[in-house]
Structure 1
Amino acid sequence: MTTYIARPIEPPVLKELRSADDAGREMVPVTDEEGGAPLRCCLRRSVPGERIALVSYAPLRRWAAETGADPGAYDEQGPVFIHAEECGGPALDGLPFTNAHRTLRRYSAEGRIVGGRLVENGFEAALVNAFDDPEVALVHVRAVEYGCFLYEVRRDQ
């Protein structure tokens, strides 16, 4: 049976992003007074008082560097929230941030977009449907309201 794994930003990449992000900018930590920021390091929302940072991240570019894919014009970077210091990573298994409208953007092994879908409800079924296409190598889950990258999903055999 195939399962799907939400992938946080990996610790070595987080270390790089805390030094200089994918746009070459230095990290600027802040104390989150309100909480609620979707953290890509541990796949949960921040709580008031945590030290976080908004950094630029290029998820497809980094995946392509691992796999040898060439995303061409699909390479993009955008803002993501992370803890300003090392954290323990995700505490729960499963798929986070699924209780709101989301966009699933599907990519081929070559790094090209092969489809997308707005998900209003039935997130897990939509994810299964995305991976029903054998051309799909990975799926990016994005927030609808700002289009921000939330996490990547790959098949786990």
Structure 2
Amino acid sequence: MFQINPLPENAFSHLYGLSDEDLARQNVQVHVSDGGAPCRVSLTDLAEGQRVFLLNFEHQPGKSPYRSRHAIYVGDGALENHPAPDAVPASISSRLLSVRAFNAAHEIIDADVIDGHEVAGLISNFFSNPDVDYLHLHFAKRGCFAAKVTRADG
């Protein structure tokens, strides 16, 4: 079993409701969703017209050559959504994905690109390797971090 994890809302809640100017001083761009902005906190595509932040986020803080940060979307006021174990939210399953398997030393030990509708099988396959500690899902076209995947049993 696996668990897709949202980013914690408390990492972004200090931005909620700030003016465009205050956000710009923090290098956060404000956009209006066209209905296809995938929020990393709610794990949903934000509704058309919704205020959304585009900001840089360190999604791979591990002390390895794979340490990384990239642009992500977060909806203004987004609440954490925790999908059921083995469930893949539509905001993830509807896109082409790059799946990266990391070991406990935060090194990539396997990776693949797959249609999001097929990702559950690949996740299960990667987790059949006991050396895989966790996975990162990225939206393949722009390379943006989508979510971290852990084993549901710990």
Using structure 2 for the length normalisation, give the TM-score. Answer: 0.81
Q: Structure 2: how far apart are the matches of 1:150 and 1:53?
A: 15
Using a 3 Å threshold, how does the CA distance of structure 1 residues 110 and 148 change in structure 2: closer, same or farther? same
Equivalent position of 2:107 in the other structure: 112
Superposed CA RMSD in Å reads: 2.4
Unpaired runs of 5+ in structure 2? none
Residues 1:99 and 2:94 aligned together: yes
Closer, same or farther: CA 144–36 of 1 in aligned 2, 3 Å: same
Asked if 1:136 corresponds to 2:137, the answer is no
Task: Pick from 65, 68, 73 the counterpart of residue 81 of structure 1.
Answer: 73
* Cα shift at 1:148: 1.1
Shift of 1:45: 0.3
Deviating beyond 4 angstroms after TM superposition, the runs of 4 or more aligned structure 1 residues are 16-21
The whole-number CA distance in structure 1 between the counterparts of 2:102 and 2:36 is 29
Which residue of the other structure, out of 84, 90, 101, is the alignment partner of 2:81?
Answer: 90
- Give the 3 Å change call, closer, same or farther, for CA 115–16 of structure 1 in structure 2: farther
Query: Hey, what's the Cα distance between the residues in 2 that align with 1:58 and 1:40?
Result: 13
Distance 1:43 1:14 in 2: 14
**What corresponds to 1:26 in structure 2?**
27
Aligned length: 143
Cα distance in structure 2, aligned partners of 1:145 and 1:15: 28
> Do the aligned residues in 2 keep the contact of 1:6 with 1:151 (CA within 8 Å)?
yes
CA contact (8 A) 1:42 1:90 kept: yes
Could you tell me whether the CA contact under 8 Å between 2:3 and 2:83 is conserved in 1? no
Matched, 1:123 2:114: no
1:14 paired to 2:12: yes
Tell me the SS of whatever aligns to 2:125: helix
1:33-80 superposed Cα distances (whole Å, 9 cap, x missing partner): x2211110100101111111101111111xx3xxxxx22x21111000
Report the Cα distance in structure 2 between the residues aligned to 1:52 and 1:16, rounded to whole angstroms: 14
Residue 142 of structure 2 aligns to a residue whose secondary structure is: coil
Q: What residue identity is the alignment partner of 1:90?
A: N
Deviation, structure 1 residue 99: 2.9
Deviation at 1:16, TM superposition (A): 6.0
Q: Is the 8 A contact 2:9 2:79 kept in 1?
A: no
